[in-house]
């Protein structure tokens, strides 16, 4: 599939990307090369090949869900600027 400069200009406008006149030809050629590669990939016969969802069929090893630190809630509440009924008070940021 070939791409011309007018199509690249229109795509750049839709994507709100500024492409200068000096680089327009280079961008057009690069996009054309990418589309040629896609066309080549479309020609590959993939009949009988199962889709690959993930390259590794390994299971993620998870750590044990154990409590490893002591409860320091009171210490953190003591150094907080404002606390009320065990909750941290913060300034309102959204009206």
User: pTM above 0.75?
Assistant: no
**pLDDT single digits (tens) 5-28:** 999 999 999 999 999 999 999 999
Q: Where are the domains of the chain?
A: 5-42
Say yes or no to pLDDT of 1 above 80. no
CA angle, residues 51, 52, 58, in degrees to nearest 5: 145
Token pair for 52:
């690959």
Distance of CA 52 to the CA centre of its chain: 20
Contact call for residues 86 and 78 (beta carbons, < 8 A) = no
Token pair for 37:
């590669």
């Amino acid at each position: 599939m070939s791409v011309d400069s007018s199509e690249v200009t229109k795509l750049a406008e839709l994507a709100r990307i500024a492409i200068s006149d000096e680089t327009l030809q280079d961008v057009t050629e690069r996009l054309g090369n990418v589309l040629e590669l896609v066309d080549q990939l479309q020609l590959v016969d993939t009949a009988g090949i199962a889709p690959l969802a993930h390259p590794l069929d390994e299971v993620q090893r998870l750590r044990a869900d154990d409590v490893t630190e002591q409860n320091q809630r009171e210490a953190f509440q003591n150094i907080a600027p404002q606390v009320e009924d065990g909750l941290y008070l913060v300034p309102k940021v959204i009206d």
